[in-house]
Structure 1
Amino acid sequence: MKKILFAIASLFFISPSFAQVVGPSPSTFNSIRQNGVSSISANGDTVWTSPALTRNIGNSPDWFRPSGIDSIDNGIGRVFSLSVNQDTVVSGLGFTSETLAGTQPAGYGYYISVDGGENWRFSEFLLDRFIEGDTTFTYGGTLYTRKRIIVPEQSPPYNVDFKGDVIFSANWASGLLRSTDFGQSWERVVLPPFGESELTPDRNDYVWMDCSAVQNGTCIEFENIYNSVDDDNLKGFAVHIDSQNRVWYGGAGGINVSENALTAPLDSISWRNSNTDGSSTGILGRWIIEIREDTSNGRIWMTNWIADSNDRFGIVFTDDGGQTFGQRLIGQKILGIGFKDGYVFAAGENGLFISPDGGDTWQKKGQIKNPNTFLKSSAEFQAITVTNNRVWIGTTDGIISTDDLGETWEITRVNFPLSGGNQYDTDAGSVDTYAYPNPFSPTQHELVRIRFEASNSGDIQVRIFDFGMNLVRELDSYTATSPGSYEAIWDGVDGKGRRVANGPYFYQVKTSGNTVNGKILLIE
């Protein structure tokens, strides 16, 4: 849900950073499994990441995927959400379902571990019995009707959180789910209808509009049926349990706060809802996809996305339980928020923003790079977590981390060693070089990386040829200062700054005492 393709002004022009050699880079056997990381969570010195449930302890070079997660290893399940506290890990799983309407994200279930990932228990995704017709529920002593949810499509667990034996899961078409027995069973939490400022069991006249006729975009006929697909406030995206045991729920109808959802029976859970009102002390947009607490001061932060024409992107915070809000980063589409030592980090589609003073002032970081590698300039920043000594950020181009609040960065990507096999195939043959991604699309991927080994220090020359072996581009010269694995970067542009045509291209890498060759298929 956190991916948007950007049109960039440099489409037909080169940037020097896209035609160079970088390294040496680590050649770790056990690396992350995918460069796109949209969910990341940590406790102590251990960090867990999506989409394959990989774990790192103490900023080790190695990332491990535990055993006992067959639904991910050999099945279709992928990690959509994570919540970690001490040795307990709750992972919300989804999958991509092929339907007549096209591909749809779907709910799959949950993996739960209470021993740091040594053992796992699978919890089935909640679906209603396949019976035609609606069903009923009781709230505040009044009987209401709701639509059955009999398929997992459009219900991936976008966010999970837990405290004690209680787990909450925010799922789009399934709304907010709760388990009070740590995943043994699940129940559906009743939420306020869109437009209502509160839900209390003292009232018996709530109306959830299930629209049956629309005219000019306006519902003109409806039934009073609880239906997540038709009510924006019921569409679940975010959930958080704060240090005061309040439950915060974010849908597409604003932010909802409950003082008793952690412990109350389903028919007695009360909620307060805050929607956009155009004021300077309200939320910016009513679509909430992330809720986080700065535990150093109890301040609750949340992302605001656009759900209608009156909304604005940005983030807001509240110090009074959701009565009033401070607005920050107005106009920025933020996906993740994190905190460390008084700093606030905001991960967005348009960059990484850091505030050194608790959110009062902000700086946008430039392209993330270190002496050995860099993130693509088009990388989106998607999720943030914090271990004892580091801030970790999931991006569309790998994981970055910092132990000095953003002054310097480590960059972690999927790695396939040139020799000795890899984490997918331990018996894989050795190669002299490879290029990835391959096939390569400059529009979709921005750049291609050519990996090779330099056995000695010395000059490195990388040249690109077309099918007729005409020189297309010679990358910037580079001198290897030590043996190791290096990467040459090419953006699909020739030596005159022109985007090259589709087709096969050959590359030649000359290092001190060795020459290797490879092929790249360029397809727009």
Structure 2
Amino acid sequence: MNNNFFYIFLYFQFLFSMLPTQLSFDDTNEINNIYRNETDNIELGLPSNQIVDIRLGHNKLFFGTSGGLGYLDLDGSYSFKSFKSDSLPYGSNPSVIAKQLDDSYIIVVSGGQSIEIASETYPSGTGIGYSLNNGESWNYKNQPVDPIPDGNSKYQIMSWGGQDLNQLAVTTQINNITYDLAIVGDYIYSASWAGGIRRFKFQNIELGLPDDNFNPWESIPLPMDNQSILKCGFINTQDYELNPNDPINGGSHNHKGFSVFSHNDSTIWVGTAGGINKGIIDQNTNCIDWEHFNSLNHGFSGNWIIGFNYQVDNNRIWAITWSTGGIERNALSYSDDGGITWDVPYQLEELNIKFYNIFIHNSIIYASSEEGLWKSTDGENWAVFPNIIGSDGQLILTPIVYSSIILDETNEILWVGTPDGLAKTENSGLDWTIYRNIGDEIYQDENNLIESFYVYPNPTNSYARFAFENYTSNAKLDIFNFSMEEVINLKNPILFENELYNKTGEFFWDCKNFNGYKVANGVYFCRLKNNNTTKWTKLMVID
């Protein structure tokens, strides 16, 4: 496992907070191939224990994590693996999507990282990877970045529906990170905040001259904040501009793309910081007519739209709707009439918590949130799963759940992705199995025993795990602050169950002292005593 908890902490801090009101535009058109991995192979274990997204391919589960793309072969072996390919984007995976195409599956994954500029940290997109054969091989696509316009202009001309439209040129990957993906017809769609909504063709590509880019990124215009419709070929070109800046800077919140979804090849749903957009795709030209809905006039809980899903049983579209301020609320919202009117489950509106993902299995809805995994059979009455405790005593030390999935119509196994590992239940949460990778940093000898004492995540802001070799039940862990004053001692480690390691002990620490108070930021020295041996390691705590 990579030491990237601090990274994912920063990353989700960006994900769940509004971006700066004035977008930054660099003077250079960055080429993000330099950020890509340089190897092309498969490694054992998940890239990270922070599981952001879970998708089902053909006999494989794919995991988008804070450290890259992993997968599990569904052959009963429960052998987790990680892709290391130069055709996959570097960094974390904000979005993974899978779709069956004829006799195979297309898998698409986006990449992102945090970069520091003038002591400020920003999210940055690292591109798209896509496989047309269920992950056997991969193609890479640069993050959509516009060329620098001629002269002093910040605008370029885009062609859409036979018209020329003004578009603000987004010439950097900064604040241009693909948070969501969709596969619709021959196209892969990307929602990338400052980059808006864009698409490129992945199949049925018409070949041109040898130097042509056969499948370039194409910008998709959405209604401006004050527009309820945008008809292809009938846009007022004098008044319209595609601009993801805040309105105070001449832009539209509705041009900040955050989510994109489709359950057929004729309708597409887009969520932005300015509401919900429903698009009808012309099957001959692939041009899109848009309707734009907002929370005030149409009834959903908030105008920041994080994601969608479709419930087949009752032809219902669900949206994850976050508040942008004022009287808006964080909740889920649904529409039974194609988006014209929306309802918000009263229980969820009262909770006012942030949801991250919706998964629907027949008539059952699973909603991942900052306060656990919620379940409903009717959309109105919801129950939350208890805290996840493994049958071997392991704990998921966070209430946050990012994603969930049930594999197929007959298999009731539920998988749950969290910032602290992957969990599986076969009996609706009564019993859990927790899967983690404790990382390449822990060396294995010829007997498959750990030859190290290792803490992760490091740095941390809320909890830490300490893995050590040659488990014994009387092992002891003492933790000291920088002044070598003891803040806590821990006993009774558990036996860590892992396919790659055996006889591995593990301690949990919730970053609290003897008195139950959260410890201060700083470096902590950690001493393990086990089997007449003493080992030390360091841990940094940062809020």
Tell me whether the two structures share a fold, i.e. TM-score over 0.5.
yes
Contact 1:438 1:520 in 2 (8 A): no
* Residue number among 314, 333, 336 corresponding to 2:357 in the alignment: 336
Contact 1:306 1:312 in 2 (8 A): yes
The residue type equivalent to 2:536 in the other structure is K
Written as runs of structure 1 = structure 2, the 5 A alignment for 1:89-488 is 89-100=107-118, 102-132=120-150, 133=153, 134-139=155-160, 142-182=163-203, 184-201=215-232, 203-205=234-236, 207-208=239-240, 219=248, 230-243=251-264, 245-260=266-281, 263=283, 265=285, 268-277=287-296, 282-328=299-345, 329-330=348-349, 331-355=352-376, 357-388=377-408, 389=411, 390-416=413-439, 421=444, 430-438=450-458, 441=460, 444=461, 446-454=462-470, 459-464=473-478, 466=480, 473-477=488-492, 484-488=503-507
Give distance in 1, aligned partners of 2:422 and 2:60: 14
Q: Distance in 1 between matches of 2:477 and 2:316?
A: 54
Deviation at 1:507, TM superposition (A): 3.0
Contact 1:379 1:397 in 2 (8 A): no
- Larger-gyration structure (1/2): 1
Structure 2 counterpart SS, 1:460 = coil
- Segments of structure 1 that go 5 or more residues without pairing to the other structure are 7-28, 223-229
Judge conservation of contact 1:509–1:515 (CA < 8 Å) in 2: yes
Q: Secondary structure of 1:277's partner?
A: helix
- In 2, are the aligned partners of 1:463 and 1:471 still within 8 Å (CA)? no
Do the aligned residues in 2 keep the contact of 1:504 with 1:519 (CA within 8 Å)? no
> Does the CA-based 8 Å contact 1:43-1:387 persist in structure 2?
no
The aligned amino acid for 1:413 is R
Cα pair 1:274 1:283 within 8 Å, conserved: no
More contact order relative to length (CA 8 Å, sep ≥ 6):
1
**3-state SS in 2 of match to 1:157:** coil
- CA apart distance, 1:172: 0.7
Mapped partners of 1:209, 1:145: distance in 2: 5
**Structure 1 438/247 Cα, relative in aligned 2: closer, same or farther at 3 Å?**
closer
How big is each residue's C-alpha offset from its partner over 1:184-241, in whole Å with a ceiling of 9 and x where there is no partner?
Answer: 3221111111132211247443744789xx9xx984x95xxxxxxx211111111111
The residue type equivalent to 2:47 in the other structure is R
Measure, in 2, the Cα distance between the counterparts of 1:140 and 1:245: 17
Q: 1:69 aligns with which of 54, 77, 86?
A: 86
Q: Tell me the TM-score normalized by structure 1.
A: 0.78
Displacement, 1:141?
A: 5.4
The percent of aligned pairs where both chains have the same amino acid is: 24
CA-CA distance at 1:114 after TM superposition: 1.3
CA contact (8 A) 1:45 1:387 kept: no
Query: How far apart are 1:341 and its partner, in Å?
Result: 4.2
Q: Find the aligned partners of 1:507 and 1:192 in 2 and give their Cα distance.
A: 59
Count of residue pairs the alignment pairs up: 470
Which residue is equivalent to 1:83?
A: 97
Over the residues paired in the alignment, what is the CA RMSD in angstroms? 3.6
Residue 51 (structure 2) aligned to one of 37, 44, 47: 37
Gaps of 5+ in 2: 1-10, 17-42, 204-213
Q: Do the aligned partners of 1:285 and 1:312 also contact (CA within 8 Å) in 2?
A: yes
| TM-score between both structures, scaled by the size of structure 2 | 0.76
After TM superposition, give the deviation of residue 69 of structure 1 in Å.
Answer: 3.3
